[in-house]
Structure 1
């Protein structure tokens, strides 16, 4: 989150005022439709409570910096992608605890008493809001140093995600062995349908092809590292982190398929030849 803050400028937030509709639609897809989709899939696949809550925690998290990188690879609207990531990361301080509370009440009745909305909200402020604000502040006052440092923190975040997934696999190998098919299928389905959902929202509002691809990426690629961290630290349930861990791998399947299709069907540039 600190690395994300280093990459942000005030122009990324001003994008909301310059072109508000794509951002509002994207936020609606991320913060409203994605959790509803996750809830529906948890019921359809009849997931055990730990996997159902885990996939809901994932859907409650904002998009991570991975979505910005994928948008860049797809030659999508990078400004829209960064703006959505930044704004959703700030809003999630309020929305994520509420969605998790709903998930625990629906799928984990015995854990409901141990969940604290206040402590989860305060924890999210410390792991999302404060690091992002510090990063933005340093970017504003020390732009050159921040720009040169941002790739390091991005790579560090990727390595951190890989290490957390490996740790979850080792610690929860029994859970994975018994329900890998269900969690893999539900995670992949969530990813693919979420991408289509984002694209569909763009088509409904008649956005450009670049914006449609961007919304597909932003709705379909979530911050699985944050979801794992919430499960392990705030809820103290490593088994809740299994679904986000699997999603942290499967989300790249749909995302890079979208990148491939976006590049394949993009119109070739028109070359104007000068007549000698």
Structure 2
């Protein structure tokens, strides 16, 4: 498969399929949870949409990373949540309703915030002549691969609940396989430079992941949120939508180098997630 076919066709379709699967687990009630869990929702969105980009930018200053790799870090920081965080919350025995609600709400807000953050990063860190994201066109494309399939999934769940229920597990498994394939493709594209890129961006991505996980849990504890919500806020703060990030870098910006920090972060977050799942289930025994 040629790279042009992968980035122009397969990657957007893969992301749309993953988001469709997320929609199969959503209902209108999930959006009403903002009233039921106002503190938790407000904190989760603050962490995802404000603190995450700030932390990413601050760590770039500390580590001195610039150019395409730095832009890749900020793309990742602009893409919170995703179906992965919902799955990890479920496996960790967290508050799945809160997790799904945060993912659903942030998915709509990031339609606007992603092009703003990414264009800022390109202007600040990018090399002269770097391509920028056309805001309106980007918003339309993100809607096409996130909001539309999520809405279709919600419609199917509402109209055909038994079908949606039976399809939920197979779609989750397929989504995980697709996500792994996307990661592998991003890594193989830059296989000759992957070790150098890992040395350059690995420490900052590990720092970003650990920082967001810990700060999310700490702030939720300060607000005296229940144990399950503290765990969920931590996961939602530290688990990002890597597939969307890779699509933005590879498909919209056409820069494979920018995908590397995102791929590295995705690998790191799966390792830290495995630890969280293990510890959470150990304490639940």
Q: TM-score over 0.5 for the alignment?
A: yes
Partners of 1:141 and 1:174 in 2: how far apart? 49
Q: Which residue of 2 aligns with 1:222?
A: 240
Q: Which residue of 2 aligns with 1:91?
A: 109
CA displacement 1:210-244 (0-9 Å, x = unmatched): 11111000000011011101111111111111111
For residues 110-189 of structure 1, what are the structure 2 equivalents within 5 Å?
110-111=128-129, 114-189=132-207
1:104 aligns with 2:117: no
Q: Which residue of 1 aligns with 2:3?
A: none
Partners of 2:255 and 2:172 in 1: how far apart? 27
Partners of 1:129 and 1:20 in 2: how far apart? 23
CA displacement 1:65-87 (0-9 Å, x = unmatched): 11111111211111111111111
The answer to whether the Cα contact below 8 Å between 1:195 and 1:254 also exists between their aligned partners in 2 is: no
Q: Which residue of 1 aligns with 2:258?
A: 240
**Which sits farther off after the overlay, 254-263 or 179-188?**
254-263
CA displacement 1:17-62 (0-9 Å, x = unmatched): 1221101110000010001111111121222311111111111112
Partners of 1:111 and 1:120 in 2: how far apart? 19
- Higher alpha-carbon Rg: 1
Partners of 1:52 and 1:208 in 2: how far apart? 36
Partners of 1:111 and 1:18 in 2: how far apart? 47
Partners of 1:5 and 1:45 in 2: how far apart? 38
Partners of 1:155 and 1:252 in 2: how far apart? 15
Per the TM alignment, residue 151 of structure 1 is displaced from its structure 2 partner at its CA by: 2.0
The answer to whether the Cα contact below 8 Å between 2:68 and 2:127 also exists between their aligned partners in 1 is: no
**Distance change >3 Å, CA 177–CA 193, structure 1 → 2:** same
The answer to whether the Cα contact below 8 Å between 1:220 and 1:255 also exists between their aligned partners in 2 is: no
**Which sits farther off after the overlay, 235-244 or 173-182?**
173-182
5+ residue gaps, structure 1? 269-276
Aligned length: 267
**Distance change >3 Å, CA 142–CA 111, structure 1 → 2:** farther
TM-score (norm: length of structure 2)? 0.89
1:255 aligns with 2:273: yes
5+ residue gaps, structure 2? 1-18
The answer to whether the Cα contact below 8 Å between 1:7 and 1:150 also exists between their aligned partners in 2 is: yes
- SS of the residue corresponding to residue 192 of structure 2 reads helix
Q: Which residue of 1 aligns with 2:55?
A: 37
Per the TM alignment, residue 265 of structure 1 is displaced from its structure 2 partner at its CA by: 4.3
TM-score (norm: length of structure 1)? 0.92
1:52 aligns with 2:60: no
Q: 1:4 aligns with which of 17, 22, 40?
A: 22
Q: 1:72 aligns with which of 90, 93, 103?
A: 90
How big is the alpha-carbon RMSD for the aligned residues of Structure 1 and Structure 2?
Answer: 1.6
